[in-house]
């Protein structure tokens, strides 16, 4: 097994932990490579990538590793760590299981986007969480039309729209009023941002559906952002086509906790019905 170590270079804790991990792997005669600025080529020859950081670091590594189908394992050195598998104090016990291959691989759907301008493709991207089309710095709304497999779904007069995966349903989409979608249930979620209509709602489609967003009017620059990390400027008349990517992102899971356990702990969600069950048990 050859392991890639990807630390968040801006966090001293992550860098220190990466050095300890390298020493640990040396003692066990396991090959490793320290990767400070991940690229697809750097990850292609690895069997596993250990990411020491928050969700942002993990998102970037998972997208890049997906092209070569290399699984990633996340260690939370950030604030929320919704996608990570263990906290910092759980790294070394987890490594024992990883080296013994005592884990499972979880596939997370990715989505791809292409930008068409005047009949020509001008940009292409892949996202694990979401694509967001939003207005610029001034408080001016934009007008968007949404299509699914060529059928007109709705028009939004809004600050923007979020097209998310199930993984991304608990990120920006959730903050904008979108639904929580179990991450292994492949689908595409369309959520308006501050729509100027009481009837505006999120729409969830099958993963095979091709979603197209047409930018009808923008009085200022509009931005397409990819997982909140990269951006591409859009112009009035541009069409953004979004569909399920060919390859998924692969995450290493130890099976110690489920999605809803993470949801409760990270999002501070109340466990609905728990009080009723506890009361019944005490009777």
- Cite the active site residues: 55
Whether 130 contacts 212, CB under 8 Å: no
Cβ atoms of 165 and 110 within 8 Å: the answer is yes
Crossing angle (nearest 10°) for helices 91-99 and 12-27: 40
Q: What is the 3-state secondary structure (H, E, C) of 240-278?
A: EEEEECCCCEEEEECCCCCHHHHHHHHHCCCCCCHHHHH
């Amino acid at each position: 097994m050859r392991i890639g170590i990807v630390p968040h270079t801006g966090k001293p804790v992550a860098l220190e932990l990466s050095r300890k991990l390298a020493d640990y792997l040396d003692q066990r005669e396991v090959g490793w490579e320290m990767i400070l600025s991940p690229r697809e080529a750097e990850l292609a020859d690895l069997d596993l990538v250990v990411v020491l950081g928050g969700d942002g670091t993990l998102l970037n590594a998972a997208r890049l590793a997906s092209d070569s189908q290399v699984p990633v394992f996340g260690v939370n050195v950030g604030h929320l760590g919704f996608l990570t598998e263990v906290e910092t104090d759980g790294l070394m016990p987890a490594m024992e299981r990883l080296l013994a291959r005592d884990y499972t691989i979880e596939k997370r759907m990715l989505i791809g986007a292409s930008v068409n301008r005047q009949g020509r493709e001008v940009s292409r991207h892949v996202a694990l969480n979401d694509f967001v089309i939003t207005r610029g710095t001034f408080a001016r709304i934009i007008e968007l039309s949404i299509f699914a497999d060529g059928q007109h779904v709705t028009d939004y007069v809004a600050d923007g729209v979020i097209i998310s995966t199930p993984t991304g349903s608990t990120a920006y989409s959730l903050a904008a009023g979108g639904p929580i979608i179990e991450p292994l249930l492949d689908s595409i979620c369309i959520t308006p941002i501050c729509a100027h209509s009481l009837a505006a709602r999120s729409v969830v489609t099958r993963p095979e559906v091709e979603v197209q967003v047409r930018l009808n009017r923008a009085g200022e620059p509009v931005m397409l952002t990819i997982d909140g990390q990269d951006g591409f400027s859009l112009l009035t008349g541009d069409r953004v086509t979004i569909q399920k990517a060919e390859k998924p992102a692969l995450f290493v899971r130890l099976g110690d906790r489920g999605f809803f356990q993470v949801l409760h702990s990270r999002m501070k969600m109340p466990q609905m019905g728990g009080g009723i069950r506890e009361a019944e048990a005490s009777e």
